[in-house]
Amino acid sequence: MSLLDTYKARVGQSHSSDWFEVTQDQVNAFADVTRDHQFIHVDPERARTESPFGGPIAHGFLTLSMLSHFAEQALPPFAEGVIGINYGFEKVRFLTPVRVGSKVRGTFTLASVTERKPGQLQLVQDAVVEIEGSESPALIAQWLSLVAQG
């Protein structure tokens, strides 16, 4: 089966990662790397008393960055000699803050496959980061990637 046929057969399929607990240490490390030390992320006491969230929350971009980890867990592995690279996003929406201590997971549904040139495909994944126990997801995104024979 060709690379294109393999991915066309997967359109509409959904896969979910395991649940992942967001810790204050992870949020603090992300704050250090990005230099975003807003108190709602890194000061639990102030976040409890001075924010509408009732405690510290993860950065939206930390939640978005977790898509890579979730995808590695959830999606079928690439065949031998096939590589995938991030191509960007068509849409990202942060819908619900992720409180420190929450568990989140990623769910991916392959929305479309386009052959850019022989042996190179563009995939569009509808990605959702769910929060355990919440009806509203943390984020939704249309994630673009390129897949090619190495």
Any idea where the domains of the chain sit in the sequence?
3-21+67-149
What's the CA gap between 118 and 29, in Å, rounded? Answer: 41
| pTM, to two decimals | 0.92
Angle at which helix 24-34 crosses helix 60-74, to 10 degrees, equals: 110
Amino acid identity of 67? Answer: L
Beta bridge partners of 134: none
- Correct CATH for 3-21+67-149 of 3.10.580.10, 3.10.129.10, 3.40.50.10860, 3.90.25.10: 3.10.129.10
Percentage of residues of the chain with pLDDT beyond 90: 90
**Token couple for 129:** 């980061």
pLDDT classification of 9: cutoffs 50, 70, 90: very high
| 58-88 pLDDT, tens digit each | 999 999 999 999 999 999 888 888 999 999 9
Average pLDDT over residues 2-10: 92
